[in-house]
Amino acid sequence: MLTLYVKTGCPFCHKVLDAGEELGITFDEKNITDDTIAAELVARGGKRQVPYLVDTDRTVEMYESDDIVAYLQAHYS
């Protein structure tokens, strides 16, 4: 399962979402405009930075849109 932490209006989040759409990937999106979700993100990754990908199938968690896109292309194309 792929979970993507995002924030409304974030261009880097849209970059990852667009790449996911091109690859036919569906994310469980969690928007950090909700304070509970933001706290969850900080607890997981240590920062309130988006996008943040969680791939529970491969036990991978990462920040940085370019790294996330490269990861998705390598493992889900």
pLDDT at 38 (0 to 100): 98
Domain holding 19, by residue range, is: 2-76
Among the listed residues 4, 14, 15, the one whose alpha carbon sits nearest the alpha carbon of residue 66? 15
6-56 pLDDT, tens digit per residue, is 999 999 999 999 999 999 999 999 999 999 999 999 999 999 999 999 999
SS3 state at 59: coil
And the tokens for 37? 């979700």
Is this model's pTM higher than 0.85 or not?
Answer: yes
What is the CATH number for 16?
3.40.30.10
pLDDT given for residue 61 in this prediction: 98
Number of domains in the chain: 1
Amino acid 40: pLDDT: 98
